[in-house]
Chain A
């Protein structure tokens, strides 16, 4: 099973700042089949990025994904108040696994 390790565990930032979240896989992710999800408290997750770098429908362009192989990054260019949430990466190229999550909190 591919293990995904997200860092940092918590990111404390102010609105308007740039957020950089990391997701590292224990082995290469097949065809860069990696997604990012956002989860607000009390809500279901929402798909942000798929295929490592493709934005899902309706996702603002301040969200971007990059990376390949074992190292992937989610960048939020300028944090809006609604972006403070927990973010999960998921690989879906070899069965499926999720990372443990990164919480982006208001500083």
Chain B
């Protein structure tokens, strides 16, 4: 079964750093892009960026560039989303998702989501 399994919920303080993960299984991880999507409480979906694990080619939505870092470790089939200086406004559910084939494809596989809460 093709699936993406994300790391568990996190509670952090403003200014702290954080790295959440998304592990792919049931398919060849390096053959597919992995995207990250934010959903703030009670709000809609926002595409943040995408990475190709084979060569780490990474594209960011301009509004997220410099705010987060997307990376991948192909040896363990895992993609990451990282913050170095969390803000309260980073509180959200974060999903990883996989386009069905190439870069220009819809997301047919989604992780279960990681809830990140940033509060003093």
Chain A residues close to B by CB (< 8 Å): 1, 33, 35, 37, 39, 44-47, 50-51, 56-57, 88, 90, 92-93, 95-101
* Smallest CB gap from A97: residue in B: B47
Q: Are B113 and A44 in contact (CB under 8 A)?
A: yes
- Contacts A92-B105, A95-B61 given; indicate if A44 touches B110 (C-beta within 8 A): yes
- B1 interface residue (CB < 8 Å to A): no
Min CB distance, A90 to chain B, in Å?
7
- Contacts A44-B95, A47-B108, A93-B104 given; indicate if A98 touches B45 (C-beta within 8 A): yes
* Smallest CB gap from B35: residue in A: A96
Q: In chain B between 79 and 120, which residues have their CB closer than 8 angstroms to a CB of chain A?
A: 95, 97, 99-100, 104-108, 110-113
- B46 interface residue (CB < 8 Å to A): yes
Chain B residues close to A by CB (< 8 Å): 35, 44-47, 50, 59, 61-62, 95, 97, 99-100, 104-108, 110-113
Inter-chain pairs besides A35-B107, A45-B107, A47-B107, 4 sampled, C-beta below 8 Å: A45-B45, A46-B110, A47-B100, A96-B61
DSSP class of A's interface residues: helix, strand, loop or mixed?
Answer: loop
Q: List 12 A-B contacts (CB under 8 A).
A: A35-B106, A39-B45, A44-B110, A44-B113, A47-B107, A50-B100, A51-B106, A56-B108, A90-B45, A90-B47, A93-B104, A95-B59
